[in-house]
Structure 1
Amino acid sequence: MKSMPIAAFAAALLCALGAFAPGSPAAAQGGAEPWNALSIDDITQVSTKRLTTRILEQATVEDLRKATERGDARAAVFLAYAHKNGLGGLEVDKAKGYELTRQSCEAGDRRGCVSLAFNLFNGKGVAADVPLAMQMFEGACREGIAFICVRVANFHAQGTNGIRKSPSMAQRFRVEGCVGNYPIACRYAGDGLRRGEGVPKSYEGAHPFYRLGCDGGDDVSCFYAAATLVETRSKSDPSIYPEVSRFYQTGCARRVGAACYNMGIIFNEGRHGQMRSTPKAVPWMEKACDLDYDDACYNLGSWFIDGRAGRTDGRRAIELLGPLCLRDKDPDIQACNNAGTAAYRGTGMNAPDYDTARTYYEQACYLGALIDSCRTLSDMFGDRQITPSYAGEREWLNAQLCFKAAAGDYCDARTDQHRVYRLARKGSYGEAQIVSANLCARGDGLGCKFQEVLLACKNEAEARGVCRKLFN
């Protein structure tokens, strides 16, 4: 396979970069072919993968092949990528892809040289040469191919392919990418300063980068442009409200839930000279909740229970809090309690909904050991607002309240469930197991489960920690 000396690589790369100086038309090769109609932003900011996918939606591999055969270096770039990744109906052929990439770079195409650098970096179709690849990447970054700056930054941040890990070098290339008008690079440069990665930590220094990122179209940068400005000033400073609200509102409009949420917080807490008004915060929290920002859903649900939203609406509160409570991963136990409270009180409803209240109080009590929920659940049994689902349910609940919450009103030493707790807490696991077995024989499902656990604790030292956790 034909090799290419370093000097020739450098000359080809500089030639390619010079032919596409920022501001020059990317489609200068003329013609209607999609690969020759790319904008300067496409050339400098979009990955070859995304560009190839877009081009193959408008043209065929055969179109690219014919153009390559007549000397179109840009077509060769995307035909090469298609060969390397088996796109457009082609079989994967990394050697063929490398050869086409080399040809496009030698012909002066800047993206061909970038692709060639990736081949050398990863050893795809050619022997790996990381130092040469880095020389080409860094040159491409300096000459304006901004998305490469971010990749180089990542290489230095992670120590990829034997490159020495260097947070300061990573930050340098993030800044280079931002200077090259790549909004995501501006965000990453802001992140470096905000976190103190390779540079002294500085919210004030991070803010201008986030501002550039937001104004350039990066959604997340808008949130941090506001947040870093807030960090450098007092929450009571009204002078920053116009800028802070501009960034948060822009981020919210671009579907960044945290930005919507923070706009709501400004009004709910009366920050930056704004009059405190929870009803004015509600629309922002609604937007944040619609974008799956859980804290916003929790706040809204709570406000609809206590009236801070401007009205009470228990059904709406349950709609907001219920999913937080019932989710499989990391259920929000306080949301369970609040949803149960809305239903139990019948907040803004025609009447209490005890069955719904029970669903959420059980989650809060049994999953989260939230004593207030357990206590209300027991009271609902006592007031006959609900009935036990299984034998012994109320008695087990009261025993738990008696021993774990030291709630004397719920202690009834006459019940076998109370005896199980008392014996287990003393370490008399064998006696407690016999009482549980008797309960099980009478149809008490929880007694059946406890007898198995208690038997293990009686006979196996390593199991006793489980019993201590259950009963103490």
Structure 2
Amino acid sequence: MMSTGCGHRAVAPTKKVLLSKPAPSVDVASMTKAQAAELIGQWRKSCRLGRGQDCYRLGRLFQLGLHLEENAEEALLLYYRACENKSKAGCLLAGKLALDQSRSSYSPGKAIASFAQGCQLKEARACYEAGVFWLMGEEAREDFQKASTYFGLSCRGEFGPACTHLGVMAQYGIGLKASVKSATLLFEKGCSHLDATSCYMAARLLRRDNPPKALAYSQQSCLGDDKRGCVIRGDLARKDNMLPDAQYYYGRACQLESGVGCYRLGLISKNSKQLFEKACGADVAEACVAMGMREMAAPTPVKEKASRFFEKACRGNQAIGCFQLARLWQKEPTLIPGPQDLQEAKRRACQGGVRQACALP
């Protein structure tokens, strides 16, 4: 048995936890006021008689302010009633609303009780939310063992993000025995449930030992709009000298606001200036170095601009950026902001492994 931490005992289901199927769709939004009023009256009556699904439906109307005045407190009470009457979705939303700290109804104890009840009813997302609750320690002490139990139930119920969380816990030994192999299997399972983050994590762990699998997972991650997966897919294509593929995936990563993707696309593109500039703006230090070097190589370089690029790279712990900054400042002392800045740039470059910086006067 699992304790919910608030006086309730939750029996771990032995069967597979499933994502709940939505109730038959009722398009209340398109109804006239009179039609909606009649239906709402029916739902109120059936809710009082213990039909959890209709309590949940009423709660949604109050929460959304649809044909009823918006009232989150009333919605929460209806979700509680829905949960008591075995509505999986009611349990899930009751737990979420009960964790809203901006409201007087904030109650972590009731939230975890609702999530636990939803999990017993085989609602995989409720199991997941219970896992997050114990992982983060919402006004309670973290309990990594409970978190891993709930994430496991949710993952077995085919909710991909739970597999990701459980995989990270396995990878770093949080509440579980550390095991990269177990983590990889969990990420692969999460990916099979179409979680893009799981696909990325699987690709990241497999890229060295199993490039074909890493390629497949990174491609699936990129299809799910995880920019990190797009970067890995581009790296693998570039490694195999498949430059058109690399350009495509780096370009996709760049479109998804990945500075690394923009930078690596710039490395294999003829028109790299805009890509490097975008990457530098996203704090990719190597791109800032590239922009500084481009500026210095221009027919009439704007040295103040180059200095700003190198300085940003140096702040990003890019030793080459610090070295180029120190060299520029030695030649153009008017660009040095403060009396100790030149020595600091040389020191950081030297400590970062640039031997020439150690020999600078």
In structure 2, how many angstroms separate the alpha carbons of the residues matched to 1:366 and 1:125?
49
Which residue in the other structure is 1:33 paired with? 26
Which residue in the other structure is 1:319 paired with? 274
In structure 2, how many angstroms separate the alpha carbons of the residues matched to 1:331 and 1:168?
38
1:257 and 1:288 in contact (8 A); partners too? yes
Q: CA deviation at 1:75?
A: 3.0
Which residue in the other structure is 2:128 paired with? 150
TM, length-normalised to structure 1: 0.55
TM, length-normalised to structure 2: 0.70
Structure showing greater radius of gyration is 1
Moved more, 243-252 or 132-141: 132-141
In structure 2, how many angstroms separate the alpha carbons of the residues matched to 1:337 and 1:119?
48
Higher RCO (C-alpha under 8 Å, 6+ residues apart): 2
Q: Deviations over 1:176-221 (max 9, x none)?
A: 1011111111111112112221112222101222222222121111
Q: Percent identity over the alignment?
A: 20
Residue 288, structure 1, aligned to residue 253, structure 2: yes
Which residue in the other structure is 1:335 paired with? 287
1:361 and 1:374 in contact (8 A); partners too? no
Q: Which runs of 5+ in 2 are unaligned?
A: 1-5, 315-320, 345-361
Which residue in the other structure is 2:189 paired with? 212
Instruction: Give, as a single letter, the amino acid of the residue that structure 1 aligns with 2:179.
Output: S
Which residue in the other structure is 2:55 paired with? 76
Instruction: Give, as a single letter, the amino acid of the residue that structure 2 aligns with 1:317.
Output: S
1:364 aligned residue (305, 309, 319): 309
Which residue in the other structure is 1:186 paired with? 163
Residue 297, structure 1, aligned to residue 262, structure 2: yes
Which residue in the other structure is 1:65 paired with? 40
Q: What secondary structure is seen at the aligned counterpart in 2 of 1:354?
A: coil
Residue 224, structure 1, aligned to residue 201, structure 2: yes
2:228 and 2:258 in contact (8 A); partners too? yes
Q: What are the within-5 Å matches in structure 2 for residues 82-231 of structure 1? A: 82-83=61-62, 90-92=69-71, 94=73, 96-105=74-83, 107-115=85-93, 130=109, 134-162=112-140, 164-230=141-207
Q: Deviations over 1:374-420 (max 9, x none)?
A: 75x7xxxxxxxxxxxxxxxxxx86363xxxxxxxxxxxxxxxx7xxx
Going from structure 1 to structure 2, the CA distance change for 1:364 and 1:468 (only over 3 Å counts) comes to: same
Which residue in the other structure is 1:354 paired with? 300
1:79 and 1:97 in contact (8 A); partners too? yes
Instruction: Give, as a single letter, the amino acid of the residue that structure 2 aligns with 1:319.
Output: Q
Instruction: Give, as a single letter, the amino acid of the residue that structure 1 aligns with 2:152.
Output: V
Residue 266, structure 1, aligned to residue 236, structure 2: yes
In structure 1, how many angstroms separate the alpha carbons of the residues matched to 2:203 and 2:88?
37
Q: CA deviation at 1:359?
A: 6.5
RMSD between superposed Cα atoms in Å = 4.3
Q: CA deviation at 1:300?
A: 3.1
2:134 and 2:142 in contact (8 A); partners too? yes
Which residue in the other structure is 1:48 paired with? none
In structure 1, how many angstroms separate the alpha carbons of the residues matched to 2:166 and 2:259?
28
Q: CA deviation at 1:247?
A: 0.7
Q: Which runs of 5+ in 1 are unaligned?
A: 1-5, 35-54, 270-274, 305-312, 346-351, 378-395, 401-416, 418-445, 451-465
Q: CA deviation at 1:68?
A: 1.3
Q: CA deviation at 1:222?
A: 1.0
Aligned length: 321
Instruction: Give, as a single letter, the amino acid of the residue that structure 1 aligns with 2:306.
Output: Y
Going from structure 1 to structure 2, the CA distance change for 1:134 and 1:263 (only over 3 Å counts) comes to: closer
